[in-house]
């Protein structure tokens, strides 16, 4: 954040009139105000200023993931029309194939369990 100075007309209690003042900012926060006529200066407590900066910094850290996600969504939406179709279709094809393989494996396991149960029942019947 950079320091800025601006001139503004304010009422000075010391001069008892409206005169030009120099207003100093650190980033978007007020740091001090100084009367250009009498030199009376009012400063913001630095500890308070640090607290405000710390709160702002913490807030920015906590909202960063959300802001990045939003930026990525916008960038992705802009770039999608320029992607080759295969870039989108290929992962979907692979996922479908994996699902089919897992489905077949689970069906085979169920068939094996069914055969084991059937064999166990037939052995029990034969032993009687």
Two tokens at 106? 């689970």
- Give the per-residue pLDDT at 37: 92
Task: Give the model's confidence band at 78: pLDDT under 50 very low, under 70 low, under 90 confident, else very high.
Answer: confident
Give per-residue burial for 90-103: e unless 16+ CB within 10 Å, then b: eeeeeeeeeeeeee
- Beta carbons within 8 Å of 27's beta carbon, 6+ residues apart: 1, 2, 53
Range in 26-40, 68-82, 88-102, 114-128 the model is least confident about:
114-128
Residue 52's nearest CA partner among 34, 66, 22, 31 is 31
Q: Do the strands 41-43 and 17-26 form a parallel or antiparallel pair, or are they unpaired?
A: unpaired
pTM, two decimals, is 0.38
- Beta carbons within 8 Å of 30's beta carbon, 6+ residues apart: 23, 24, 44
Mean pLDDT of 60-75: 90
């Amino acid at each position: 954040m950079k320091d800025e100075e601006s001139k503004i007309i304010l009422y000075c209690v010391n001069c008892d009139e409206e005169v030009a003042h120099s207003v100093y900012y650190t980033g978007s926060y007020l740091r001090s105000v100084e009367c250009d006529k009498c030199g009376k200066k009012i400063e913001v407590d630095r500890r308070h200023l640090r607290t405000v900066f710390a709160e702002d910094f913490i807030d920015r850290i906590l909202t960063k993931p959300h802001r990045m996600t939003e930026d990525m969504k916008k960038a992705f939406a802009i770039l999608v029309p320029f992607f080759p179709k295969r870039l989108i279709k290929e992962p979907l094809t692979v996922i479908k194939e994996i699902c089919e393989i897992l489905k077949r494996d689970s069906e085979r396991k169920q068939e094996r369990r069914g055969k084991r149960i059937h064999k166990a029942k037939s052995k029990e019947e034969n032993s009687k």
